[in-house]
Amino acid sequence: MSDKKTWPLWEVFVRSKNGLEHRHFGSLHAADADMAMENARDVYTRRNEGVSIWVVESKHITASNPEHNGEMFEPAQDKVYRHPTFYDLPDEVKHM
């Protein structure tokens, strides 16, 4: 294959309606940010799925490494005191 530059990959995030967060919808190819925005609109909101779009070039995303999942995420598993059910209260206490 030639070393010619091809349209890079972009990730598309769409807010379905105000009040909701932007959610990852998928990806697409585009030469620049303007085109990525237009393509995102044409590809991912054909059925009125969105009110706001973010696009970011895929190479700018830093992802955690699944091989480090143990050290990254397991230490949070036993911190039960962060959850309300950890605390014993008498049933008579309402609204807490």
Partner 1 sequence: MNNNNLYQYILGIADNSLILGQRLGELTGHGPSLETDIACTNMSLDLFGQVRSYYQYAAKIAGDGRTEDDIAMLRKERNYLNVLLVEQPNTDFAYTMARQFLFDVYHFLFLQELQKSKDLTLSAIANKSIKEVSYHQRFSSDWIKRLGDGTEESQKKMQTAIDDLWRFTDELFHQTDADKSMVSEGVGVDVTKLKDTYYKKISDILEESTLKIPESKYFQKGGKQGIHTEHMGYLLTELQYMQRAYPNMEW
Partner 2 sequence: MSEEKIKNLEAQFEERIARDEKIEPKDWMPEKYRQTHIRQMSQHAHSEIVGMLPEGNWITRAPSLRRKVALLAKVQDEAGHGLYLYSACETLGISRDEMYEQLHSGKAKYSSIFNYPTVTWADMGAIGWLVDGAAIINQVPLCSTSFGPYARAMVRVCKEESFHQRQGFEIMLKLANGAPEQKDMAQDALNRWWWPSLMMLGPTDAESVHTEQSMKWKLKRKSNDDLRQQFIDQTVPQADLIGLTIPDPDLKWNEERQSYDFGEINWDEFWQVVKGHGPCNKERMAARVGAWESGEWVRDAAMAYSEKQQERKEKQAV
Nearest 5 degrees, angle CA 74-CA 79-CA 82?
130
For residue 9 the two structure tokens come to 């990959």
Residue 8, both tokens: 């890079």
Q: Which of 39, 50, 53, 55 binds partner 1 (CB under 8 A)?
A: 39
Q: Which of 17, 18, 47, 92 binds partner 2 (CB under 8 A)?
A: 47
23, 26, 52, 73: which one contacts partner 2 (CB under 8 A)? Answer: 26
In the sheet that holds 22-29, the strands lie side by side as 22-29, 9-15, 52-57
Residue 63 binding result from partner 1, partner 2, none, given CB thresholds of 5 to 8 Å by partner type: partner 2
Min dist CB 94 to partner 2, Å, is 39
